[in-house]
Amino acid sequence: MNTFESIFTEENALKTALIIIESIDRETTQVDYDFYFRQGKFVSDDINTWIKFDTDEYPLLKDMLNVLTDEEIEATKERIDIFSDFRDKVCEVLVEALKEPLIDKLRNKVFGGKMNKSACPMDGIKIKNFDITDVPESGRYLLVVKKEHPEGEIPQSVTSELYEYLRSLENEEGQVNIKQMSIAMNEFIEERRKSDDEKFKYIKSVKMKRAFFECQVEIFADYSMVIPEVIR
């Protein structure tokens, strides 16, 4: 049986960092980025890249999550410090021992394999944070609602009803995946429209967009391009 002290170790921090590197290439991992170029110069905020994934495919991380959510384990100051040190070690390993594979995989992911190291060396990279936390199934998604209403008429909000129904789907017996939830959500909207519910009068459909994951790495990466010298 894992204890807090036995699982959040320096050895497991190294294993966790290796899992993060391996996860980047998986279809279930979401890599988001936010930066742009102005007159050829790289422009970005302090954090511009996020690696997001769940623990399902990684037994070690699943065990960690189970320990973190165990109500019988008291969150003492010592354990908070242990967890903080563990997260810092994961970030340290990523930016030092695993810097090259991290940069190569991010460059390939962000630019779709169309950029090489000589054109975008990504020398400046900082790991700002690593976190692992429990996220209920219904809380992992943003609902994008499509509305069609006459000009000048503002439709009523149905957000609370949609999220309440989404939570009810999670509580049903059996595993419900995102495709099944999406179908059920749109059937729910259609039923409410047919029942002449005024709030749903102009609601046409809803899409579910994955937004929250159990594991997240926050990064600043310098995606500046190397401009070739002009040969005279």
Give 34-44 pLDDT, tens digit per residue.
Answer: 999 998 899 99
- Structurally, how many domains does the chain consist of? 2
The answer on 108 and 142 residing in a single domain is no
- Angstrom distance (rounded) from CA 2 to CA 205: 45
- Angstrom distance (rounded) from CA 19 to CA 32: 18
The answer on 12 and 116 residing in a single domain is yes
Query: Could you tell me if 70 and 7 are in contact, meaning their C-beta atoms sit under 8 angstroms apart?
Result: no
**What pLDDT is attached to residue 109?**
95
The answer on 109 and 22 residing in a single domain is yes
Q: What is the mean pLDDT of the chain?
A: 89
> What is the pTM (predicted TM-score) of this model?
0.77
21 pLDDT higher than 80:
yes
Question: What six digits make up the tokens of 113?
Answer: 């394999």
- Angstrom distance (rounded) from CA 216 to CA 87: 11
The answer on 161 and 79 residing in a single domain is no
Name the 3-class secondary structure at 114: coil
In a domain, 201, yes or no: yes
Closest to 91 (Cα-Cα) out of 221, 222, 214, 218: 218
In a domain, 227, yes or no: no
The answer on 19 and 73 residing in a single domain is yes
**What pLDDT is attached to residue 229?**
62
Parent domain of 157: 137-210
Query: Could you tell me if 123 and 222 are in contact, meaning their C-beta atoms sit under 8 angstroms apart?
Result: yes
Q: DSSP strand E in the chain: where?
A: 30-38, 41-53, 125-132, 141-147, 203-210, 215-221
The answer on 146 and 158 residing in a single domain is yes
**Alpha carbon distances (Å) from 206 to 44, 133, 178:** 32, 27, 12
In a domain, 39, yes or no: yes
The answer on 31 and 57 residing in a single domain is yes
**What pLDDT is attached to residue 182?**
86
Of the ranges 39-53, 90-104, 183-197, the best mean pLDDT one: 90-104
In a domain, 229, yes or no: no
In a domain, 184, yes or no: yes
In a domain, 98, yes or no: yes
The answer on 170 and 83 residing in a single domain is no
In a domain, 147, yes or no: yes
The answer on 95 and 34 residing in a single domain is yes
**What pLDDT is attached to residue 231?**
44
Question: What six digits make up the tokens of 169?
Answer: 């789907």
The answer on 85 and 29 residing in a single domain is yes
In a domain, 226, yes or no: no
The answer on 100 and 21 residing in a single domain is yes
The answer on 114 and 204 residing in a single domain is no
Closest to 204 (Cα-Cα) out of 186, 179, 183, 182: 186
What average pLDDT score do residues 213-219 get?
95
State the burial class of residue 93 (Cβ atoms within 10 Å of its Cβ: 0-12, 13-18, 19+): buried
